[in-house]
A and B are shown apart, each in its own frame.
Chain A
Amino acid sequence: MAIAANAVQLPDITYQAYQNNNEIRELTGSEILCEALVREGVELLYGYPGGTIMPFYDALTSYPSLHHVLVRHEQAAAHAADGYARATGKVGVCVATSGPGATNLVTGLATAFMDSTPIVAITGQVARPAIGRDAFQETDVIGMTQPITKHNFLVRNTEELAAVVHEAFRIARSGRPGPVLIDVPKDVQMVKAQYRPSDYTTSEEFLQASQANAPRPADHLLSQATELIAQSQRPLIMAGHGVILSNAYSELRALAEKASIPVITTLLGLSAFPASHPLFIGMPGMHGPAHTNHAIDAADLIIGVGLRFDDRVTGDVSAFAPNARIVHIDIDPSEMHKVKVAAVPIVSDAKVALVALTEAVAPADKRAWLEEIRSWEAAANERGQSIQHDEALPDPVSILDAIYKATNGEAIIVSDVGQHQMWTARFYRWERLNSHISSGGLGTMGFSLPAAMGVKMGIPDAPVWAVAGDGCFQMNLQELATLQQEGVAVKVAIMNNGYLGMVRQWQQFFHSRNYSETPITSPDYTKLAPAYGLTGIRVTSRDEVEAAVKHAMETEGTVIIDFAIESEANVFPMIPSGKTVKQMIEEQPE
């Protein structure tokens, strides 16, 4: 697999190399900020300089282990940090100046917040005496990001800066992860203070200490759950993003196999459980396959692990899983009973709870139930159904199959938002663990290209494919320049139907084909890519799909493939918003 010659080489330097942790030094706020980031193990920062963050950028050049990536828009910095965090499990870091720099981060922070990913955003702020005076590029980023961050800090003085940075990382990583913002006034960055690294506990040290004493779920809850599992004839496991965040892949598998329970993964749970596993039955909800939703409808027990019963999963809540009792495992106590009242609420890290539950359950054989679900699946046989009418055109399934084949299933797929996202979720074979990266909760168009950059830089050995629609891709295509400048090789598959396809599909189904403002043109990507010093390919025939994907893998650097798919291809089946499995649309309405 080709990686561009100037791909990121991270220097092999640790902070011990240039400092003694017990030494007291007088440093500027900017230097303390850099020192604390190095101590947190940060390798990559995505950002964009500007007036109030300039002292930080001045110090940054003295810290060679902090590799800064100059994005072309701050939104992309937040998405790249998010992609990096999702792929590596480490904290992603993004940096912006005050005012418009900070506001441009907002969409990225909201995306990370909805999907519980750990990122730390550092913003410059106007100097303390100017705060509240409507100074140039002043904005209340603390107020603005309050509902979309796990926590945020306005740093009041240089003395508290190091403690704030370590606390920010601890908050971002611990419990249910999430984004944290640190707003640093310009004068705080410039003033000097005494700094002794050993005065501060890093998030890693803190978490290691707290993980050692992670409490096991209470025995009475475990025995209630075990009893429900034993009584159940039609149990299901629904695994969400929490399984991935908790790195509980083998623990999930152990429970499913021991108790013989079919496994559903939510959109963000995809790739937490291998798709080829006999117990895997797919994704639930609005665009889940019919058999998965029928299984939920028929289930008498649902063991939800690390998921929040989102409305795209449940549809009409009162009709969701009407016969099932719920065992809900989640690390966030506020998820218990939020949407569905759980018979057994277990507030716990997914891994810890799954281990305890697996120990407690009796081995069982529920093959009859699995066979029943499989019979529904065979009846629908959706994979065999053509999404498109015109067989000459490239189609989503053949594109996804070609990517799987050309990468031996080793690719990490970063999808954007819309029809292509649902096709990817449904028809890609998720074998590699944690290989599905997507904006699930917020549904942020424009996510895939910058996020894929973060993924590739976090896991340089993996082939990384961004799968986007023609609408999504145009929302952040300025990052092609960043990919080129950094020599990062992301392969891009654009499923180009000349429409904002998902909105068009809804217009077709629910608004009498009134295609209001959904037709969209694209630039010629075979010319756009070379303008950025990259490679662009256009594919208009299904026969050329495989060769084009193979060619992209063999070509150095970032490659864009523009696949001309059928303009009115649809995602089936579909349960309309707020409806139930009984109202599922399985084929093209006349």
Chain B
Amino acid sequence: MTNAAMPRAGYSDLPRGAEAVHVLIMLVEDRPGAVDRVVGVLRRKRANTQSLSMGRGDAPDLVRITALVKDSNVSVDNLAEQVRKVVDVRQVTNLTVQQAVIRELVLVKVSTTADNVHEAIAAADQFGGTAVAITPDTVTFEISGSEEKIAKCIDALQAYDIREVARSGCIATVR
């Protein structure tokens, strides 16, 4: 997902180490190729993308794309302008992490036995994880929340054998 490895020309005026995570919320007309175009801009302009998700928002004819991008203010501002040039894009909101409420949904499937299943459920519960599917040898937990909370919950579940982790990518609103 990230393009950060390659050096980039042109940003020499910027102070080093000025990168921070920004949230871009992009509302895009629901037309063939529209999402493709936006993702294409992120790729071509070498956005240092940490997370990308899309789905519906409040308007039925718009797709809401949320990208977390780690770069300097100037670079992210420029990226937002590049995205705004895509004809299908209705609106771009560029937020700092502090300005945004950011959430992600994670499904974690762990191996369990009859002996430790209750213990696993209790461990996840400490961090707001709830069991959503139970089989004789696995439990799947749903965790939603901030990055920190998710990290702690996954950490707590490391004691069990994690078989699969699925993350939705972040969605966000303005605080």
Contacts and interface: CB of A to CB of B under 8 A. Distances in A.
Given A154-B33, A318-B13, A147 B78 contact: no
Contact of A154 (B32, B44, B77, B87): B32
A336 B78 contact: yes
Given A311-B9, A317-B9, A338 B78 contact: yes
B158 interface: no
Contact of B84 (A154, A171, A317, A333): A333
A22 interface: no
Interface string A19-60: 000000000000000000000000000000000000000000
Interface residues of B, number: 20
A555 to B, nearest CB: 47
Interface in B69-90: 74, 77-78, 81-82, 84-87
B32 A334 contact: no
Interface string A318-359: 100000000000001110111111000000000000000000
B143 to A, nearest CB: 37
A119 B90 CA distance: 24
B74 A337 contact: yes
B77 A332 contact: no
A146 B37 contact: yes
A333 B33 contact: no
B82 A334 contact: yes
Given A332-B85, A334-B85, A337-B78, A147 B44 contact: yes
A142 interface: yes
A150 B87 contact: yes
A146 B12 contact: no
Interface size class of A (residues with CB under 8 A): 20 to 34
Interface in A99-143: 142-143
Interface string B77-116: 1100110111100000000000000000000000000000
A151 interface: yes
A151 B38 CA distance: 12
Contact of A336 (B10, B32, B81): B81
Nearest to A156: B32
B81 A333 contact: yes
Given A317-B10, A317-B12, A318-B12, A146 B33 contact: yes
Contacts of B32: 154, 156
A333 B94 CA distance: 15
Contacts of A317: 9-10, 12-13
A169 to B, nearest CB: 13
B57 interface: no
A341 to B, nearest CB: 5
B148 interface: no
B36 interface: yes
B78 A341 contact: no
Contacts of A341: 13-14, 74
A152 B33 CA distance: 9
A118 to B, nearest CB: 14
Contact of A147 (B12, B40, B87): B40
A168 to B, nearest CB: 10
A402 to B, nearest CB: 40
Nearest to B41: A147
Interface in B20-36: 32-33, 36
Interface string B45-89: 000000000000000000000000000001001100110111100
Contacts of B37: 146
B33 A171 contact: no
A242 B173 CA distance: 38
B120 to A, nearest CB: 45
Contacts of A151: 86-87
B84 A334 contact: yes
A317 B14 CA distance: 12
B2 to A, nearest CB: 20
Nearest to B10: A339
B15 to A, nearest CB: 11
Contacts of A147: 40, 44
A152 to B, nearest CB: 8
A337 B40 contact: no
Given A317-B9, A341-B74, A146 B36 contact: yes
A126 to B, nearest CB: 16
Interface of A: 142-143, 146-147, 150-152, 154, 156, 171, 311, 317-318, 332-334, 336-341
Given A142-B33, A317-B10, A334-B81, 5 more contacts: A146-B40, A317-B9, A338-B10, A340-B13, A341-B14
Interface of B: 9-10, 12-14, 32-33, 36-37, 40, 44, 74, 77-78, 81-82, 84-87
22 contacts: A142-B33, A143-B36, A146-B33, A146-B37, A150-B85, A154-B33, A171-B87, A311-B9, A317-B9, A317-B12, A317-B13, A318-B12, A333-B81, A333-B84, A334-B78, A334-B82, A334-B85, A336-B81, A337-B74, A339-B10, A340-B13, A341-B14
7 tightest A-B CB contacts, nearest first: A334-B81, A318-B12, A151-B87, A339-B10, A341-B13, A333-B81, A334-B82
